[in-house]
């Protein structure tokens, strides 16, 4: 019990300096998916109206393509765990900003009714968790990433035991991360660790510009030959493993690496 408390304390203290990603997996009915994306943009834009105090730094939307059974994945980014814990309530902020709009009472009521529809779609059947980034292992290409375009994003999840995770990450850096960087197809690699909620202890998001780029990476893996000792050890301690292939649908981030107060739907 004492070891568990010390581990929890270490994780909490370490996360003060780490970026926090709040993950939501949503079970929106497929028949309402297009309407949901439009409403998501509308209410994210309303959320960012007015004061910027105590708000998420950015938010990202992905649609399910292949893997687990969900419709959308939403990631909210905060600079640290304190910012995440103290952030203003999404719904309260949206309703406050609607009230401050220079529009008629009927128009405000229509917006609030639409917000209720959107939030119900967001809430029903959703899962959520909080993850921390491993900042020194994040890779981003030197070229600008055009976030106005759709991308293929693969979430690789592994579940090494806590006692093995440091070794696993070291092996993953050599066997998976570096080989993907050397191949030159990945636009970004964003590894995260479990903080709270229910999920795997390690996850990495691999960004590709297209299906063709993703397939180049997959063919390289298939033709890489027998595993070496590091790769064998990595898989031996990885625990359960799964992959989720998603399509990036939009975010509040400009192509020049700057946050924006407008949610851009990718085309």
CATH code, residues 133-248: 3.30.70.100
Name every residue whose Cβ is closer than 8 Å to that of residue 227 and which is 6 or more positions away in sequence: 235
The full set of domain ranges for the chain reads 18-130+250-265, 133-248
CB 183 within 8 A of CB 213: no
CA atoms of 130 and 248, how far apart (whole Å): 20
Name every residue whose Cβ is closer than 8 Å to that of residue 114 and which is 6 or more positions away in sequence: 39, 42
SS3 22: strand
**Greatest distance between any 2 Cα atoms in the chain:** 68
Please work out, in degrees rounded to the nearest 5, the angle formed at the alpha carbon of residue 209 by the alpha carbons of 208 and 212: 85
CB 253 within 8 A of CB 146: no
Sign of CA pseudo-dihedral 66, 69, 72, 73 = negative
**What was the pLDDT predicted at 150?**
95
Q: Do domains 18-130+250-265 and 133-248 have the same CATH topology?
A: yes
CA atoms of 120 and 140, how far apart (whole Å): 35
CB 102 within 8 A of CB 50: no
Q: How many CB atoms lie within 10 A of CB 159?
A: 17
**What was the pLDDT predicted at 254?**
74
Name every residue whose Cβ is closer than 8 Å to that of residue 235 and which is 6 or more positions away in sequence: 227
Which tokens is 77 given? 């980014």
**Which contiguous run of DSSP H or E holds residue 242?**
strand 241-253
pTM of this prediction exceeds 0.85: yes
Question: pLDDT by residue (tens digit) across 111-144?
Answer: 999 999 999 999 999 999 999 999 889 999 987 7
| Short-list 157, 164, 231, 167, CA closest to 193 | 157
**What was the pLDDT predicted at 264?**
94
Fold of 18-130+250-265: Alpha-Beta Plaits (3.30.70)
**Which contiguous run of DSSP H or E holds residue 230?**
helix 229-236
Q: How many CB atoms lie within 10 A of CB 224?
A: 12
CA atoms of 256 and 177, how far apart (whole Å): 24
What string of pLDDT tens digits covers the 267 residues of the chain? 434 333 333 444 444 568 999 999 999 999 999 999 999 999 999 999 977 788 999 999 999 988 667 899 999 999 999 999 999 999 999 999 999 999 999 999 999 999 999 999 999 999 999 999 998 899 999 877 889 999 999 999 999 999 999 999 999 999 999 999 999 999 999 999 999 988 899 999 999 999 999 999 888 877 878 999 999 999 999 999 999 999 999 999 876 667 788 999 999
**What was the pLDDT predicted at 17?**
63
CB 47 within 8 A of CB 97: yes
**What was the pLDDT predicted at 8?**
39
Name every residue whose Cβ is closer than 8 Å to that of residue 19 and which is 6 or more positions away in sequence: 77, 78, 79, 80, 132, 133, 135
């Amino acid at each position: 019990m004492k070891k568990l408390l010390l581990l929890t304390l270490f994780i909490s203290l370490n996360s003060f300096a780490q970026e926090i990603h709040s993950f939501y997996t949503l079970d929106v009915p497929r028949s309402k998916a297009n309407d949901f994306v439009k409403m998501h943009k509308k209410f994210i834009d309303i959320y960012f109206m007015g004061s910027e105090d105590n708000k998420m730094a950015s938010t990202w939307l992905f649609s399910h393509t292949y893997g687990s059974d969900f419709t959308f994945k939403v990631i909210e980014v905060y600079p640290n765990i304190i910012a995440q814990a103290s952030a203003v309530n999404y719904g309260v902020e949206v309703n406050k900003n609607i009230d401050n709009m220079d529009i008629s009472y009927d128009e405000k009521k229509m917006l609030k009714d639409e917000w209720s529809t959107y939030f119900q779609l967001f809430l029903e059947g959703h899962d959520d968790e909080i993850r921390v980034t491993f900042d020194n292992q994040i890779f981003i290409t030197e070229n600008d990433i055009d976030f106005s375009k759709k991308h293929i994003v693969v979430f690789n999840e592994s579940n090494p035991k806590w006692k093995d995770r440091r070794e696993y990450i070291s092996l993953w850096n050599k066997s998976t991360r570096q080989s993907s960087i050397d191949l030159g197809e990945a636009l970004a690699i964003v590894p995260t660790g479990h903080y709270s909620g229910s999920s795997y202890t390690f996850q990495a998001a691999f960004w590709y510009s297209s299906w063709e780029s993703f397939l180049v990476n997959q063919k390289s893996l298939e033709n890489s030959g027998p595993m070496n000792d590091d790769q064998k050890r990595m898989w031996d301690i990885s625990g359960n493993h799964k992959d989720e292939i998603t399509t990036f649908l939009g975010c509040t981030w400009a192509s020049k690496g700057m946050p924006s107060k407008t949610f851009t739907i990718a085309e």
